[in-house]
Structure formats: C-alpha cells, structure tokens
Structure 1
Amino acid sequence: MTPCLKGRKIVVIGRGGIAQAVAEAAGDAGAEVVLAGRHQEVAVDVTDEASVAALAERLGTVDHVVSTASARARGSLADLRPDAVLASLATKVLGPILLAKHLAPIMPPDGSFVFFSGATARKPAAGMLAVAATNGGVDAVTRALAVELAPIRVNAIAPGTIDSGAYDALGEERKAELFERRTTLNPARRVGRPADVAAAAVFALTSTFTTGQVLGVDGGEVLV
C-alpha cells in the first residue's frame, strides 16, 4: 500500500541529494512540499532562533517537518577546530530544538518531525569524532522531544554510506575505494541511495504509532 500524505503540508529543510529525494517522495505521496534552507527559496537558518520564528510565521500552519540540515566537522582530534564542532552541534542538535520550539505550536496533534542523525552515533570511526558526538546528540534530542511534544511524533533517520554527493569532495578515486570497501563489508552489499533514505522518511511521516525512534538506513553497516 502506497503511503498517503495527501493534503498535508511538509517542510523539508536542507539541500542536496537527500533533501531533494525526500521532497520528491513526499510529493509523490500527495503532500504539499515546501523546500526551505539557507539556499532555498524559503529561507531559514536553523541555528538562528529569529530565522526559525520567521519561518513559522510565514508558514502559518504545517503538518510535518523534515530537517536534513548539517554542518559536518570531519577530522582527527588533533585537527578539529572548535568553531567547526560548534557549527555541527548548532545545526543538527540546536537546530531541531529551535524547530520544535517554533513549529510545534503551528502543528496539528497528528503532526511529526523527522531529524537526521547518522550511523557514526552507533559506530564511531577515526576522524569522525565530532560527527559521532553530533549524531549522538540528535538521537538524545529525538527521544526527549518525542516525550515533551506528545502526541506530536518525533523520529530520526540515521543514514550510513549514501551516494548523495556528500562524498564527492574525496575525489573520484578515494570515493570509489570507499564505496567498494563499504559494498564488500556491509550486509546489504551495496552503497545506499537517496531514495533509500527518502523511503524511510516517508515511513516515519506516515507511521502513526512510531515515535522517539532512530531508524537506521545503513545497509547493516553498523553491524560489521
């Protein structure tokens, strides 16, 4: 059965392959989709409370919110800069708190939030300390908000290695090596696609008895 979001207004915050895939999947399920972010037509900076409050005023009402916004702080411990770590935490941990504070009041009781964590919260790797800490914070915020905002639902998605453009900065050779290694090791025997993540987002938006959960979309990457 195809999930139905007909007549529901959904805000998707962020940019890139995953945000676009979520927006398209929600639209295919019948939703009215509003794309928002620093570089979208509807502008919002999730780290700025005034900006989030302005978004709420502009929307008037909203049924569901999906935030894919991130500011990753990759790097070894010796190379990590405090400003990069704080930007990561502000975007993915403070951001959801501000979104919940200002958008929950304009949501119906059957509304929901979907935030983005990541596999590193469950399986840290060298060079991913700040990313792991940030994603762990998302997991904690998700559970706490699910309790505080009830009956509004709050869930998170924790992607593994997804070919969404996020790894393009590695260069073709290093990216190919990484993807080959992950394909060989993970139980799904492939790298994820944005559509895999979008399907999980639509599930979280439409599964009315699911809240406070972090849905792993990682091909079993955290198991090996």
Structure 2
Amino acid sequence: MAASLRDRRVLVVGRGSGIARAVTLAVRAAGATVVAAGRDERALAAAYDEPGIETAYVDLSDEATVAALAGRLGPVDHVVSTASARARGTLGELGHDTMLRSFEVKVLGPLLLARHFAPGMPEDGSFVFFSGSSARKPVAGMLAVGATNAAVDALTHGLAVELAPIRVNAVSPGTVDTGAYDGLGERKKADLFAARAATSPARRVGQPGEIADAVVFALGSTFLTGVSLGVDGGEPLV
C-alpha cells in the first residue's frame, strides 16, 4: 500500500545541491512540507527560497544540535538523511580523522536522528538513510566509504526491528552525476563516468532525480522496512 505524502512533514538532512536538493524538491512536489537542515543554513536558505520548504541548522556530528532541532520542530512524519563526509583513498592514504568523520556523519548521525525524532513520530512514520553500492562492490580507493555504507545497511536493519512499526529503509545509489565528482576535474570526471557507463548493465551513470524517486517510493511504501534499495544501474553486478 502506498501512502500519500500530501500534508505530511518531512525533514531532509543534507546540502542544498545534488541528491539532497533533488530529494527535497521531489518530496515537496509529492505534497509534503519540507524542512531542509544542514550545517550551512545560509546556503540552504538561498537554495530553497520557495513556499513549502523551511531551513534549519543541524550538525550530525553534534548530538546537542540534533536534540535541539527535534525540540524546535516537534513531531515530523518522516526523516531523510543524505549527509556524508568524503573518505576516499587507499589504505595508505586514509587518515584516522577522515575515516572517523565519515562514520560519524553517515552512521552515528542517522542513529542520533532516530534517537531524537522517533519518539515524536506517528506509527506510520519512517526514516530513509543513504548507503551506497560500495557496500556491495569493493573498489580500490573506496575502502572507508564501503565500510561506512555497509554500517548504514546494518543500522537500517537493526533500527527497523527496534523502532517498529516506524519503518526504516536505506537508498543505496551507484555512480550518480552530482557535484561530488567535480573535484576530479572535467577530464577525470568524464573518464570515470565513461568507464562506469561502459561496464554498468544500465550503460550509463545515474541522475539525482532517479535517486529522489526512490526516496519518495520508500517514504510512501507502507510494507517496506529494513531494506536497502539498490538504485545503481546494476553496477555491483560486474
């Protein structure tokens, strides 16, 4: 059974661009009112200057800010966390603080969101967290990212049992054309996308809107819980 998001209140944690922006706009288009929260509230306010979307500050590595946000907002129907911290690099390149930051934002952050928002949620509420295909397909240079994503999947399973009947799911994208790859430079980014498209069964990389559609599906699917949805073009298969 699919539940409507119309007149529901949804918290989306992340930046004002890329997948987070696509999710926020898709959820709003589905009829929900949205609170977009992140560490740079000024940038969020500039990105979402439109009716039905308010902005707020939260730092998922600081439990006090999560608790404060929950207290200020009161009950919400659904929570989505797209937040992450980059931790790419080979074993010799990864620093302790980089790895810890990745785990702190993407795993402990969702745990804190569940701790502080679940008590005020309706029974048909839900959480959607973000994993990634590197949890299922090891790639050189993505060791910490893969371990973090695998931990998100484990957290999703555990919270689905502990918070029931509130639902908990994850969305697990493959390679998606967002600003996350801009740091490579145009040439290296194009080469990477071409290589991924050549081997992916979908023969292309993904778009943010396709990931947002999966989030909306997970929010409204009342018999879906404890699942990590692979929206990855079949990337882990090859």
TM over 0.5: yes
- Partner-residue secondary structure (3-state), 2:180: coil
Contact kept? 1:3, 1:202, Cα under 8 Å: no
Tell me the CA shift for residue 200 of structure 1: 0.3
Q: Mapping of 1:74-85 within 5 angstroms?
A: 74-85=88-99
Contact kept? 1:52, 1:102, Cα under 8 Å: yes
**In structure 2, what is the equivalent of residue 114 of structure 1?**
128
In the alignment, structure 1 residue 60 sits paired with structure 2 residue 47:
no
Deviations 1:49-86 (A, max 9, x none): 11100010011110000000000210010111000000
TM-score for both structures, normalised by structure 2: 0.92
Q: Mapping of 1:7-18 within 5 angstroms?
A: 7-15=7-15, 16-18=17-19
In the alignment, structure 1 residue 179 sits paired with structure 2 residue 193:
yes
Structure 1 counterpart of 2:122, one-letter code: P
Q: Distance in 2 between matches of 1:164 and 1:180?
A: 15
- Structure 2 unaligned blocks of 5 or more: 42-54
Q: Mapping of 1:16-165 within 5 angstroms?
A: 16-40=17-41, 41-165=55-179
Contact kept? 1:160, 1:219, Cα under 8 Å: yes
Q: Distance in 2 between matches of 1:20 and 1:144?
A: 28
Contact kept? 1:163, 1:191, Cα under 8 Å: yes
Q: Distance in 2 between matches of 1:218 and 1:164?
A: 14
**In structure 1, what is the equivalent of residue 51 of structure 2?**
none
**In structure 2, what is the equivalent of residue 168 of structure 1?**
182
Q: Mapping of 1:173-212 within 5 angstroms?
A: 173-212=187-226
39-48 or 87-96, which deviates more: 39-48
- Structure 1 unaligned blocks of 5 or more: none
- Partner-residue secondary structure (3-state), 1:78: coil
Q: How many residues align?
A: 223
Deviations 1:146-205 (A, max 9, x none): 000000000001110000111010000000001111111111111100001000000000
Structure 2 counterpart of 1:208, one-letter code: T
Identity, % of aligned positions: 65
Structure 2 counterpart of 1:21, one-letter code: A
TM-score for both structures, normalised by structure 1: 0.98
RMSD between aligned residues: 1.0
Tell me the CA shift for residue 4 of structure 1: 2.7
**Structure 1 segments of 4+ aligned residues over 3 angstroms from their partners:** none
Q: Distance in 2 between matches of 1:161 and 1:145?
A: 26
